[in-house]
């Protein structure tokens, strides 16, 4: 069992989960059946690591994050607070994947450089989406299920497809924003207003 921030028993780890003793788990975090959390990974408070999920060595995960069943989070990914990673989503870490070197040797740690994905606060990654090594998904953005993300995603953007392209904007509630005139957008659930300028969306006044 990994180290638990906040005192013994503060995190819940199912017996079939594999949590390295050098990992750190925040208070209130749950690691479900058959999940693996590798050495030196840090998982914040009140997180859910779903059945069969994988969190690689040294990965940094903030608080109130959900990593759904069978999602794969490869090192050195950084996941900020409030992020949702859907079932079977994959955060890759190798821009030029090969099993062997040009001379035919099996590649080892020194033969490649891991390049992690960064997920900013509050963003959501749909089920079976694939994020190519090195990309950043902006705050409160939404990546649709099955998308392949090969370049950075702006804050509040809704992206879909293979390769992923922006098809709209979403608000903090996760719903697609509706036009409100003159570069303004509105959340149909909360009424929160946003302003778009040069392809950048920022929260605005109602």
Q: Tens digits of per-residue pLDDT, 69-124?
A: 999 999 999 999 999 999 999 999 999 999 999 999 999 888 889 999 999 999 99
Q: What is the dihedral of CA 133, 135, 139, 143, to 10 degrees?
A: -70
**Catalytic status, residue 96:** yes
Using H for helix, E for strand and C for coil, what is the string for 54-110?
Answer: EECCCCEECCCCEECCCCEECCCCEECCCCEECCCCEECCCCCCCCECCCCCECCHH
Q: What is the pLDDT of residue 9?
A: 52
Please state the length of the chain: 206
Q: Please report the pLDDT score of residue 6 as a whole number.
A: 45
Backbone CA torsion sign across 104, 105, 108, 111? negative
Instruction: Please say if the pLDDT value at position 55 is more than 90.
Output: yes
33, 40, 70, 96: the active-site residue: 96
Residue 124 has a pLDDT of 98
């Amino acid at each position: 069992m990994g180290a638990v921030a906040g005192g013994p028993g503060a995190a819940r780890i199912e017996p079939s989960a594999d949590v390295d003793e050098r990992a750190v788990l925040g208070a209130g975090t749950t690691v479900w059946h058959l999940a693996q959390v590798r050495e030196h990974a840090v998982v914040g408070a009140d997180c859910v690591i779903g059945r069969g999920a994988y969190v690689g060595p040294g990965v940094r995960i903030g608080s109130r994050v959900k990593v759904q069943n069978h999602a794969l989070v490869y090192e050195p990914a950084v996941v900020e607070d409030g992020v949702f990673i859907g079932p079977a989503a994959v955060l890759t870490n190798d821009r030029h994947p090969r099993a062997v070197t040009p001379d035919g040797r099996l590649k080892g740690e020194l033969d490649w450089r891991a390049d992690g994905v960064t997920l900013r606060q509050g963003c959501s990654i749909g089920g079976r989406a694939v994020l190519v090594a090195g990309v950043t998904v902006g705050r409160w953005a939404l990546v649709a299920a099955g998308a392949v993300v090969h370049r950075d995603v702006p804050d509040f953007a809704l992206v879909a497809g293979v390769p992923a392209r922006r098809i709209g904007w979403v608000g903090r509630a996760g719903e697609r924003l509706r036009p409100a005139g003159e570069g303004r957008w509105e959340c149909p659930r909360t009424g929160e207003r946003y302003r778009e300028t040069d392809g950048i969306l920022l929260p605005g006044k109602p």
